């Protein structure tokens, strides 16, 4: 299978270029919406009478629902196609943000975040679509573009939310809803299906037993183990970094805003600009090891630096490490999966990542509170160092995947 479809060169060029732009916009807009509402969420919830515990549950409800939804949407997309689920996810996000803007009670606010988390589960579908329409050697760069879109959205969103919050805490929700709806319309008009319906149910993960067998087989089990150790440590570090910087250096919220903006900017540049070049020069397994080494060193440095100015060195290093490590792992997972199981397996990897993002802050908080404030960073650095060692067992990819052949269309 390939991109050559006799008599349909225009469609070939369209399929290779247009989907990536639409997918980039879809992930960007979805994360802009996330970034718009997240900083306002605690204040909005408190204005509706939420307790501190209810505020934390509200924040967690999004991630919990996304964790549950990602494998489901990925599996359904293998059977029903990517396009309808991506379009549905964008419009579902629009509805969730509309509910956010209209919420006048805490239950409605919970409903908006649960709906947004379910719609956000389609990230695995976006990854599967990207795998469908890119050649194996370009997959890491393509996954990096999705990661860059995510990072850029999280950077832009809070600024937009701050501007529109002057018209009320619910007003940014309407902006996010409009952006998602507009991108949904663009997807309807510009996004073709990436896999024929006739290929449904043919993958090694078509059944639950097959999915479990694939997820626990080599090299997928190794890749997912490296991913879990790295993502849980990365999330642990970011969850307590502000507390650590405040206690160790007296850094205020404005200072932490600069730190996170710097981190986001480096991540966008690495994923969007440098990653493809790195993979071409080093190959994917060595790029994973480079990213893990940089991330482990950076997390350890945070606990050792004597003043806040040196965060300016540690933060770009951990952002660069994460910016190379996670997209390349996603690419390797995709390349180790057959063409008919992309959604199921990438959804499974989102499940593993979601568990890491839930558990990481929990153990980091316990260590921070009950041992010493440097402990989460030291343990995190050790766990990523273990991931680095495991990464030496990652074989050079021998992909089972070829880009899905799109049936030619007759004009007239």
Q: What is the pLDDT of residue 10?
A: 46
Domain boundary among 137, 168, 195: 195
In-domain check, residue 295: yes
Reported residue count of the chain is: 412
User: Does residue 369 belong to any structural domain of this protein?
Assistant: yes
Among candidate residues 195, 230, 258, the one where a domain is terminated: 195
Is 200 inside any structural domain? no
Q: How many CB atoms lie within 10 A of CB 359?
A: 15
pLDDT over 70 percentage in the chain: 81
- With bands split at pLDDT 50, 70 and 90, how would you rate the model's confidence at 403? very low
Question: Residue 172: which domain range?
Answer: 1-195
402 within a domain of the structure (yes/no): no
Q: Are residues 235 and 92 in the same domain?
A: no
Are 179 and 219 members of one domain? Answer: no
Q: Are residues 184 and 218 in the same domain?
A: no
Highest averaged pLDDT of the listed ranges 1-5, 228-232, 313-317: 228-232
Is it the case that residue 22 has pLDDT exceeding 80?
A: no
Instruction: Say what the pLDDT of residue 90 is.
Output: 87
For residue 142, whether the previous peptide bond is cis, meaning omega lies within 30 degrees of 0, is no
Both 375 and 246 in one domain: the answer is: yes
pLDDT digits (tens, 9 = 90+) for 283-310: 888 999 999 999 999 999 888 887 777 7
pLDDT score for 401: 46
**Residue 378: HSE in the Cβ half-sphere, 13 Å Cα cutoff:** 10
Cα-only R_g, the chain? 21
In this structure, what CATH number is given to the domain that contains residue 133? Answer: 1.20.1250.20
pLDDT of residue 253: 58
* Total domain count, the chain: 2
pLDDT surpasses 80 at 311: no
What is the distance between the alpha carbons of residues 58 and 256, in angstroms, rounded to a whole number?
23
Residue 14, pLDDT above cutoff 90: no
113-161 pLDDT, tens digit per residue, is 888 888 876 777 777 788 777 776 777 777 777 777 777 777 777 777 7
Are 242 and 308 in the same domain?
Answer: yes
Q: Do 282 and 173 belong together in one domain?
A: no
Alpha-carbon distance of 201 to 207, in angstroms, equals 8
Q: What confidence category does residue 392 fall into, taking pLDDT thresholds of 50, 70 and 90?
A: very high
Q: What is the mean pLDDT of residues 364-376?
A: 83
Question: Does residue 14 sit within a domain?
Answer: yes
Q: What Å distances lie between residue 260 and 121, 192, 242, CA to CA?
A: 24, 36, 10
pLDDT above 90 (res 15): no
Are residues 352 and 74 in contact, defined by beta-carbon separation less than 8 angstroms? no
pLDDT of residue 407: 41
For residues 139 and 226, membership in a common domain is answered with no
Last residue of a domain, one of 149, 164, 195: 195
pLDDT in tens, 181-215: 888 888 888 777 776 654 555 556 556 676 677 77
The verdict on residue 406 lying in a domain is no
Q: Is the predicted pLDDT of residue 400 greater than 70, yes or no?
A: no
Task: Give burial (CB, 10 Å; 0-12/13-18/19+) of 14.
Answer: middle
Do 226 and 166 reside in the same domain of the chain? no
Average pLDDT over residues 336-357: 75
Residue 12: the pLDDT is: 43
- DSSP character string of 349-388: HHHHHHHHHHHHHHHHHHHHHHS-TTHHHHHHHHHHHHHH
| Residue 204 belongs to some domain of the structure | no
Summarised one tens digit per residue, pLDDT across range 65-105 is 877 887 788 777 777 778 888 888 889 889 988 998 888 88
């Amino acid at each position: 299978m390939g991109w050559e479809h006799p008599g349909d060169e225009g469609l070939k060029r369209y399929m290779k270029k247009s989907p990536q732009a639409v997918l980039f916009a879809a992930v960007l807009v979805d994360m802009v919406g996330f970034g718009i509402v997240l900083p306002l969420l605690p204040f909005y919830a408190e204005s509706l009478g939420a307790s501190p515990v209810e505020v934390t549950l509200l924040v967690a409800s999004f991630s919990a629902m996304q964790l549950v939804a990602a494998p489901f949407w990925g599996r359904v997309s293998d059977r029903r196609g990517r396009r309808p689920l991506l379009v549905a996810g964008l419009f579902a996000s629009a509805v969730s943000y509309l509910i956010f803007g209209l919420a006048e009670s805490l239950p409605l606010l919970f409903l908006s975040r649960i709906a947004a988390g379910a719609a956000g589960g389609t990230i695995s579908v976006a990854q599967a679509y990207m795998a469908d329409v890119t050649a194996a050697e370009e997959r890491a760069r393509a996954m990096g573009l999705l990661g860059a879109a995510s990072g850029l959205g999280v950077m832009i969103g809070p600024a937009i939310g701050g501007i529109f919050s002057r018209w009320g805490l619910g007003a940014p929700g309407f902006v996010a809803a409009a952006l998602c709806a507009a991108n949904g319309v663009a997807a309807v008009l510009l996004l073709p299906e990436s896999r024929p319906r006739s290929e449904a149910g043919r993958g090694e993960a078509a059944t639950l037993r097959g999915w479990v067998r694939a997820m626990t087989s080599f090299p997928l089990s190794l890749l997912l183990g490296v991913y879990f150790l790295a993502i849980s440590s990365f999330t642990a570090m970011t969850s307590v970094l502000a507390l650590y910087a405040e206690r160790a250096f007296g850094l205020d919220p404005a200072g932490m805003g600069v730190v996170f903006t710097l981190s986001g900017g480096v991540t966008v540049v690495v994923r969007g600009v440098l990653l493809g070049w790195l993979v071409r020069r080093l190959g994917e397994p060595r790029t994973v090891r480079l990213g893990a080494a940089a991330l482990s060193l950076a997390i350890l440095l945070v606990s050792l630096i004597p003043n806040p100015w040196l965060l300016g060195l540690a933060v770009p290093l951990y952002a660069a490490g994460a910016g190379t490590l996670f997209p390349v792992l996603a690419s390797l997972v995709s390349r180790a999966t057959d063409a008919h199981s992309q959604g199921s397996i990438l959804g499974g990897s989102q499940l593993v990542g979601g568990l890491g993002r839930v558990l990481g802050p929990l153990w980091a908080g316990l260590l921070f509170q009950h041992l010493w404030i440097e402990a989460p960073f030291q343990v995190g650095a050790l766990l990523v160092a273990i991931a680095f060692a495991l990464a030496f067992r990652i074989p050079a990819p021998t992909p089972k995947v070829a880009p899905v052949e799109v049936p030619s269309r007759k004009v007239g």
